[in-house]
Amino acid sequence: MAIHAALYHLTHYRYSRPVQLGPQIIRLHPAPHSRTKVLSHALRVSPDKHFVNVQQDPYGNFLARYVFPEPVTELKIEVDLVADMTVYNPFDFFVEEVAERWPFAYPAEIAPDLSIYLEAEPAGPRLRAFLEALDRTPRNTVDFVVALNASIQHHVQYVIRMEPGVQTPEQTLGLARGSCRDSAWLLVQALRHLGLAARFVSGYLIQLKPDLVSLDGPAGTDHDFTDLHAWAEVYLPGAGWIGLDATSGLLTGESHIPLAATPHYRNAAPISGGLSCEGELETDFAFDMRVTRVAEHPRITKPFSEESWQALDALGEQVDAALAAGDVRLTMGGEPTFVSIDDFESPEWNTAAVGPTKRVLADALIRRLRERFAPGGFLHYGQGKWYPGESLPRWTFSLYWRKDGQPIWADASLIASEGAHAKVGPAEAEHLLGSMARNLGIEADMAVPAYEDPAEWLLKEASLPANVDPANSRLKDPEERARLAKVFERGLTEPTGYVLPVQRWNSQARPWARWTSDRGPTRRGKLFLVPGDSPVGYRLPLASLLYVSPSNYPYVVPQDPAEARPPLPAHEALLS
């Protein structure tokens, strides 16, 4: 589905006295090779008393020859056309094998037909210097012409030039600026000096405001507009004539509608002709071009019109009001997905579950979300989904906050960022849990060390080849290799971390104690973790907990989530 754009073009001359017009050649009909589909076209010329002959020039372009038998006081030319602005890939072509690499020679069967497009004007010193500075290393032909087009765009600043005519390549390079026709003619001459057939093209340019602003390229126009434009085309065997817009440095696309393509710019003028009169003559000139969207089909970037959006919003408001009136509460799950703007083609943003920058950027994003939507919110770094076929579960970053604006976590600096490398180990973990235990009214020695299971890892070590060191193994699986190296580098006798069992205490016998802990015995005397490399909290040996009969099991019945609850206490009251 596409946008249909209606273009209107007016050229109007008014003369202060009657003039005798010579034959007027009008080249305002879309050329046969236009890749942009033109749905309708109309050309109107006044005064009405004229003769017209529609024909094709030697290069296949449509033109209309108007003859006015009587003197006139005005010449008015109007064009109306509707174009289908369906986006197409400008690189959707193939190049014959003989021309895949530049330089190449055109096949003998087409070389005579292209000879007029290979005739270059003598190069001046500036053009010679420009050509000599180019990389002449043999390379892919398409890459070469794309680089040449971009080079001219880089060297020549675009300006709107009202003076008639086209600058020579020497003038354009010397001034380092020019109009679209100046850059196009410079590109034509450069291509010909490099052995490539090229022609000058005049046509319409229709640029529509994009639905979305580009994240990694030019933002595009902020409004719809159209104008006369000029560019070049190069002939590549197998591909045909390929448009190159030196003003933008890009290949031509659906926005370019060619009107005339000729070996020389003189034969591509949209309107040409003369006049004669007696006495002094004053001419009033009027020019107008505009474009209007006459049809817009729903598309991914703009699925609805503004009127449809307004109707949808109004309906949504009605649905929300009905849900609120019925005390219906909705929840929505799912995982937000984001992609890096700097390296969006790397595997971690396309196929890989993890990567070198994903966690760091996710941490930066959730902190920005916290600052904007949830000041005082609580950041939680936990385990995500575990997909079949993946050796480890994925991670997830969560943000929690109170709707009443009260903070949950006051000091965000206490949460280390992903990019930070704090020098912490088992000693710091023991100190942290000991301090937490004392603040909860629990003995500090309730924080127990947790170890990697030596039996498991010694068995893994025994299974290694005799010539492989577990700290620097040559295992094919990078995860297993990193896991072995990490464990044996730390040592099996050093704790991996510390664990503090804690439970809310509601006994009336000890009303002052709000929390309790317990160090249950283990069969092997120490707390050995389940093998793996997830955080300690995910690898607790829960199967080794003491058996508790169902009659003595401390079941906790959760509160009904639909039950009305009083407002949460203030942040300070919770800390007291």
- Domain boundaries of the chain, sorted by first residue: 298-330, 335-422
- The CA-CA-CA angle for residues 146, 148, 149, to 5°, reads 65
pLDDT at 23 (0 to 100): 96
Q: pLDDT higher for 181 or 479?
A: 181
Question: By the 8 A CB rule, do 265 and 189 touch?
Answer: no
pLDDT in tens, 413-457: 888 888 787 788 888 888 999 999 888 888 888 899 988 887 776
Q: Which of 194-203, 386-395, 429-438 has the highest mean pLDDT?
A: 194-203
pLDDT in tens, 364-383: 999 999 999 999 999 998 88
Report the sign of the C-alpha dihedral through residues 260, 290, 81, 1, in that order. positive
| CA distances for 485 relative to 339, 462, 466, 471, 513, angstroms | 32, 14, 16, 4, 44
Average pLDDT over residues 126-138: 95
Q: pLDDT higher for 448 or 482?
A: 448
pLDDT in tens, 89-120: 999 999 999 999 999 999 999 999 999 999 99
pLDDT at 24 (0 to 100): 96
pLDDT at 576 (0 to 100): 67
> How long is the chain?
576
Q: pLDDT higher for 521 or 224?
A: 224
pLDDT at 427 (0 to 100): 87
Q: Provide the CB-side half-sphere exposure for 10 (13 A, CA).
A: 11
pLDDT at 521 (0 to 100): 78
Contacts 24+ apart (CB under 8 A), 276-283: 276/19, 276/20, 276/22, 277/15, 277/17, 277/18, 277/19, 277/20, 277/71, 278/17, 279/17, 280/16, 281/15, 281/16, 281/17, 281/19, 282/15, 282/16, 283/13, 283/14, 283/15, 283/16
pLDDT in tens, 502-527: 887 765 556 666 788 887 777 777 88
Q: pLDDT-based confidence at 242, cuts 50/70/90? A: very high
Q: Three-state SS across 352-402? A: CCCCCCHHHHHHHHHHHHHHHHCCCCEEEEEECCCCCCCCCCCEEEEEECC
**How far, in Å, CA of 488 to CA of 458, rounded?**
10
In the chain, what is the greatest distance between 2 CA atoms, to the nearest angstrom? Answer: 120
Residue 344 token pair: 């969006």
pLDDT at 555 (0 to 100): 80
pLDDT at 356 (0 to 100): 86
Q: pLDDT-based confidence at 248, cuts 50/70/90? A: very high
- Residue 533 clears pLDDT 60, i.e. is over it: yes
- Residue 293 clears pLDDT 80, i.e. is over it: yes
**How far, in Å, CA of 54 to CA of 507, rounded?**
102
Q: pLDDT-based confidence at 462, cuts 50/70/90? A: low
Nearest of 126, 137, 229 to residue 179 by alpha carbon: 229
pTM: 0.60
pLDDT in tens, 535-544: 888 889 888 8
pLDDT at 457 (0 to 100): 63
Q: Which residues contact 438 (CB under 8 A, 6 or more apart)?
A: 444
| pLDDT above 90 as % of the chain | 55
Amino acid occupying residue 278: E
Nearest of 282, 286, 284, 285 to residue 17 by alpha carbon: 282
Tell me the pLDDT of the chain averaged across its residues: 88
pLDDT in tens, 7-34: 999 999 999 999 999 999 999 999 999 9
pLDDT at 99 (0 to 100): 96
pLDDT at 74 (0 to 100): 96
Q: pLDDT higher for 529 or 83?
A: 83
Average pLDDT over residues 381-393: 80
Q: Strand 240-245: give its sheet, edge to edge.
A: 250-251, 240-245, 225-236, 198-207, 256-262
pLDDT in tens, 66-76: 999 999 999 99
**How far, in Å, CA of 262 to CA of 201, rounded?**
7
pLDDT in tens, 342-361: 888 888 888 777 788 888 99
Q: pLDDT-based confidence at 133, cuts 50/70/90? A: very high
pLDDT at 553 (0 to 100): 82
Average pLDDT over residues 165-184: 95
**How far, in Å, CA of 143 to CA of 513, rounded?**
76
pLDDT at 559 (0 to 100): 84
Instruction: Determine how β-strand 177-178 pairs with β-strand 157-158.
Output: parallel
DSSP 175-238: HTEE-HHHHHHHHHHHHHHTT--EEEEEEEEEE---SS--SSS----SS-EEEEEEEEEEEETT
**How far, in Å, CA of 546 to CA of 521, rounded?**
8
pLDDT in tens, 308-328: 889 999 999 999 999 999 988
Region for residue 330 given its phi and psi (left: phi exceeds 0; alpha: psi -120 to 50; beta: otherwise): beta
